[in-house]
């Protein structure tokens, strides 16, 4: 049991470090990428406050996706909203005592997994059933969806079909936060669930899933439409102009 816990602790530590370091390096790359043109997608706001409001609508409501495809929006928004609730529910495994908002979503979060799986199934069906989407889909697109579905399915199995000792699981996760090693239940669905989550964390920085933080660095979304009022000059170009 201790050997199993040690293996999974090492796996989770490694995947978490890969996630944090990989995302940090990606964000650094985004920040250093030149943006020489003023290219906000119109109609676009003309003030920074308007840009912030636009980004908020994109993050919360998926505004542009709603305009583009109602069916894709339904499945995509359902998946992301359910994922948020599921992640919030899982915070209880890393807290003692548990925050009140996390405790409040426990009953709802238990069923949000079904909405998560349904949204993913709809998005994956779109990859096969819509001709133009199937044409541009790559193996990685299908593998990402399959991985997320497997995580959702194993999580639901633990909640409704193959129960595990959640007290022992919480003791194990709290131990990870404190750099302590505690026993981990040797339940197949639990081990599969944790291994899949570790795989997701490891590949996140090099996958299309980086669209989550990447949205905030998209010049089509984070720029104000002020091309007529003032000249747009990227910081690196400004430095070049200042040279004698």
Residue 66: which CATH number?
1.20.950.20
Residue 233 lies in a domain: no
**Structural domain includes residue 36:** yes
CB atoms within 10 A of CB 79: 22
| Whole-Å CA distances, 87 to 90, 94, 124 | 5, 11, 21
Number of domains in the chain: 1
Cα–Cα distance, 45 to 42 (Å, whole number):
8
Please state the separation of Cα 133 from the chain's center in Å: 22
Q: pTM of the prediction? A: 0.89
Contact at 8 Å (CB) between 115 and 78? yes
Structure tokens at 111: 């069923």
Q: Is residue 239 part of a domain?
A: no
Q: Is residue 232 part of a domain?
A: no
Q: How far apart are CA 15 and CA 23, in angstroms?
A: 12
Structural domain contains residue 238: no
Per-residue pLDDT of the chain (244 residues; tens, 9 = 90+): 589 999 999 999 999 999 999 999 999 999 988 888 888 988 899 999 999 999 999 999 999 999 999 999 999 999 999 999 999 999 999 998 999 889 999 888 888 999 999 999 999 999 999 999 999 999 999 999 999 999 999 999 998 888 899 999 999 999 999 999 999 999 999 999 999 999 999 999 999 999 999 999 999 999 999 888 877 777 777 777 676 6
């Amino acid at each position: 049991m201790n050997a199993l816990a040690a293996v999974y602790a090492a796996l989770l530590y490694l995947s978490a470090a890969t996630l944090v370091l990989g995302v940090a390096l990606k964000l650094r790359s985004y920040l250093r990428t030149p943006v020489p043109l003023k290219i906000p997608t119109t109609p676009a706001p003309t003030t920074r406050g308007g840009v912030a409001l636009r980004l908020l609508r994109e993050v919360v409501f998926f505004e542009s996706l709603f305009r583009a495809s109602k069916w894709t929006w339904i499945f995509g928004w359902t998946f992301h909203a359910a994922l948020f609730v599921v992640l919030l529910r899982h915070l209880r495994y890393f807290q003692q005592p548990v925050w009140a908002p996390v405790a409040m979503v426990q009953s709802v979060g238990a069923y949000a997994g079904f909405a998560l799986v349904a949204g993913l199934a709809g998005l994956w069906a779109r990859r096969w059933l819509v001709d133009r989407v199937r044409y541009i889909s790559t193996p990685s697109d299908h593998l990402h969806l399959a991985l997320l579905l497997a995580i959702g399915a194993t999580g639901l199995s633990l909640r409704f079909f193959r129960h595990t000792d959640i007290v022992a699981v919480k003791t194990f996760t709290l131990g990870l936060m404190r750099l302590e090693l505690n026993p981990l239940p040797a339940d197949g669905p639990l081990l599969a669930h944790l291994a899949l989550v570790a795989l997701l964390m490891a590949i996140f920085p090099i996958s299309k899933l980086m669209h989550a933080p990447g949205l905030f660095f998209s010049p089509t979304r984070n720029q104000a439409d002020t091309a007529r009022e003032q000249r747009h000059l990227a910081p690196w170009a400004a430095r070049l102009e200042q040279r004698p």
